[in-house]
Amino acid sequence: MIRMETSNGNNTIMDMFEKGKVLKICAPMVRYSKLAFRSLVRKYDCDICFSPMIVASDFMRSVKARDSEFTTNESDRPLIVQFAAPDAQTLADAACVVAPFSDGVDLNCGCPQRWAMSAGFGACLINKPELVKDMVRHVRNQVDNPNYTASIKIRIHKDLRQTVDLCQKAESAGVSWITVHGRTAEERHQPVNYDAIKTIKDSVSIPVIANGDIKHLRDVESTYQLTGVDGVMAARGLLTNPAMFSGYEDTPLECIWDWVDIAIEQGTQFTCFHHHLIYMLERLAPSLRGKCLIL
């Protein structure tokens, strides 16, 4: 259910990039980066939040899907809605629906799961630069808001020249910024390729966000030093410690209580509430042995 009617005023996301600050961003995570969790990380210095990845065709086909997949409120800004889409018009149609309630739309070009790639979206799109260009242009031409951003999130190729070509073509089509997960579609736990991210950053004039293995606030600074990027995006690190961007090494107890309060206030489903709680307590579990934490 969409529950928001206010705009983001005069403070656009591109203005945030221009201030020279390395932006701290909550990644799009299926099942996890929903409104309640976004509300939590915003309390702890997260600058921009992404929605979970939403399959654009399902979103457009079903009211039930729209109510389930996209919920927001007046405090949920800046917000980027990420879609998985196999064609330009489907993406543009979905973008037009969410544009009044968000600050930008992002095209998923990085999901490596087989079901996504077999459906024609996710990481398979990094091998279709002309299609990505067309998708960006459709969003640009059909969303009636010059401040609304159109971005892409990608993985890298083994031959980095292909990735640079993709990014430059997306830039020529008007993409607002690019998030780079520094692994190929085949890689899972291999080290992040920071040199590749730096090469991409040096190859375009638009903002670039680095993604991959951000587990502590110090990783934000080290990634910036290695790559010169404009922002850093975290996923698993924020799940484990939603207060990470505020400099906490582990989830502080006040953050856990904040999660309880937000989950109750927003009517979060128990399964979602419980999964997040388990992640937050992951590092704390040994220190909580013998103690009673009543939730």
pLDDT of residue 287: 52
Domain ranges of the chain: 13-245
pLDDT of residue 11: 66
Residue of 26, 46, 49, 111 marked active site:
111
* Sign of the alpha-carbon torsion through 183, 33, 39, 78: positive
Mean predicted lDDT score pLDDT of the chain:
90
CA separation for the pair 55, 63 (Å, rounded): 13
pLDDT of residue 1: 40
Q: Specify the higher pLDDT residue, 189 or 93.
A: 93
CA distances from 35 to 73, 96, 139, 207, 272 (A): 8, 20, 24, 26, 11
Is 111 noted as a catalytic residue in this protein? yes
First to last CA, the chain: 28
CA separation for the pair 195, 182 (Å, rounded): 9
The pLDDT tens digits of the residues spanning 128-182 come to: 999 999 999 999 999 999 999 999 999 999 999 999 999 999 999 999 999 999 9
Q: Specify the higher pLDDT residue, 187 or 259.
A: 259
Superfamily of domain 13-245: Aldolase class I (3.20.20.70)
